[in-house]
Chain A
Amino acid sequence: DTGVSQDPRHKITKRGQNVTFRCDPISEHNRLYWYRQTLGQGPEFLTYFQNEAQLEKSRLLSDRFSAERPKGSFSTLEIQRTEQGDSAMYLCASSLILGRAEQYFGPGTRLTVT
């Protein structure tokens, strides 16, 4: 039983460049979530999908951010025209819909914008 995986684990990019992160959830999980975590803080919700439908987006998700889950399996998070303030850990999680629906997290992608 594999957990949530994320790729890449680390990304260094120059300001103004575009970056894309990938998340592969636990296979039987319908829901997939993206969070952002900055140093010394807890994760902050960005967006989530149920199957391929994006059901909610946080106000934190500016126009430069876009997320997709085209076939209801893996998801991508793209940041266009990166800014230094985008430097953070980007966490992906997945869950079932029913029951406790606890979220299982991947190892995260650490983004550094120089």
Chain B
Amino acid sequence: AQKITQTQPGMFVQEKEAVTLDCTYDTSDPSYGLFWYKQPSSGEMIFLIYQGSYDQQNATEGRYSLNFQKARKSANLVISASQLGDSAMYFCAMREASTGTASKLTFGTGTRLQVTL
């Protein structure tokens, strides 16, 4: 079974609008972390936001927020006020604590976001 599922291969959003990128995950580990990364066409993976499984509040980092619904095992990324520079691939990833405090990430297949004028 896929550990991280991103069901939207591609999304379009108009500049200045908000967009939600979906991510569901599968784990039996009670302690885990969820991450979102942005990958522009240049190829470098850029860390955006982190949510710990025990965090009570949804994470926010500037225009990025994470809509964490633990019971549904979803961790959707919300980008507010989209900008042309937000056009990129976006990856959701998970780290399970059973594999160590700081070890491997398991990534989804990504969502390509295109911001239009």
Q: Which residues of A contact B (CB under 8 A)?
A: 31, 33, 35, 40-45, 48, 55-56, 58, 89, 91, 93, 95-98, 100-108, 110
Q: Could you tell me if B104 and A45 are in contact, using CB atoms closer than 8 angstroms?
A: yes
List chain B positions with a Cβ less than 8 A from chain A.
4, 33, 35, 37, 42-47, 50, 52, 91, 93, 95, 99-110
Enumerate 15 A-B pairs (CB-CB under 8 Å) in ascending A order: A35-B105, A42-B108, A43-B45, A55-B100, A58-B104, A98-B101, A98-B102, A100-B33, A100-B52, A101-B33, A101-B101, A102-B47, A104-B47, A105-B47, A110-B43
Residues of B contacting A93 in the complex (Cβ-Cβ under 8 angstroms): 45
Structural contact, A89 and B101, CB atoms closer than 8 A: no
Asked if A103 and B44 sit within 8 Å, CB to CB, the answer is no
Whether B107 lies near A44 (C-beta < 8 A) is yes
- Which residues does chain A contribute within 8 Å of B99, judged by CB atoms? 56
Complex CA gap A104/B35 in Å reads: 12
Known contacts A98-B102, A104-B47; can you find 10 more A-B pairs with CB under 8 A?
A: A42-B4, A42-B91, A42-B110, A43-B45, A56-B100, A101-B33, A101-B101, A101-B102, A107-B43, A107-B44
